[in-house]
Structure 1
Amino acid sequence: MGKKKVEHVVFDGMRKIKKKVNINQYNTQTKKIIMGQTDKQSVQQHPFPPLYDKDSKVLILGSFPSVKSREMKFFYGHPQNRFWKVIASIFDQENPTSIEEKKKLILDNNLALWDVIAECEISGSSDASIKNAKANDLSEILNNSQIQKIIVNGKTAERLYIKYIEPVTGIKAVVLPSTSPANAAWSLERLVDVWKSEIKN
Structure 2
Amino acid sequence: MTHVEHGFGPVWNRESRVLVLGSMPSPKSRQAGFYFMNPHNRFWPVMEALFDRQIGPSIAERRSFLLETGLALWDVIASCDIQGAQDASIRNALANDLRPLLSASAIGHVFVSGATATRLYRQLIQPQLNEAGLAVPMTPLPSTSPANARMSLEALRQAYRPIMLALED
For normalisation by structure 1, the TM-score amounts to 0.77
CA RMSD of aligned residues (A): 1.0
Question: How many residues are matched?
Answer: 160
Cα distance in 2 between the residues matched to 1:98 and 1:57: 23
Cα distance in 2 between the residues matched to 1:153 and 1:142: 18
Q: 2:104 aligns with which of 141, 144, 155?
A: 144
Written as runs of structure 1 = structure 2, the 5 A alignment for 1:103-182 is 103-170=63-130, 171-182=136-147
Q: Secondary structure at the match of 1:59?
A: strand
The structure whose Rg is larger is 1
Cα distance in 2 between the residues matched to 1:152 and 1:128: 16
Q: Secondary structure at the match of 1:56?
A: coil
Cα distance in 1 between the residues matched to 2:144 and 2:115: 11
Kindly indicate whether residue 9 of structure 2 is the aligned counterpart of residue 44 of structure 1.
no
Cα distance in 2 between the residues matched to 1:132 and 1:193: 33
Cα distance in 2 between the residues matched to 1:58 and 1:149: 5
Q: Deviations over 1:114-166 (max 9, x none)?
A: 00000111111111111111100001210111011000001111011011001
Q: Secondary structure at the match of 1:76?
A: coil
Counterpart contact for 2:55–2:65, Cα < 8 Å: no
Q: 1:199 aligns with which of 147, 163, 166?
A: 163
Counterpart contact for 1:158–1:173, Cα < 8 Å: no
Cα distance in 1 between the residues matched to 2:137 and 2:107: 13
**Counterpart in the other structure of 2:31:** 71
Q: Secondary structure at the match of 2:39?
A: coil
**Where in structure 1 are there 5+ consecutive unaligned residues?**
1-40
Q: Which moved more, 1:79-88 or 1:169-178?
A: 169-178
Structure having the higher helix fraction is 2
Query: Alpha-carbon deviation of 1:195?
Result: 0.5
Structure with greater contact order relative to length (CA < 8 Å, sep ≥ 6): 2
Query: Alpha-carbon deviation of 1:194?
Result: 1.8
Counterpart contact for 2:87–2:116, Cα < 8 Å: yes
Which segments of structure 1 move beyond 4 Å, counting only runs of 4 or more? none
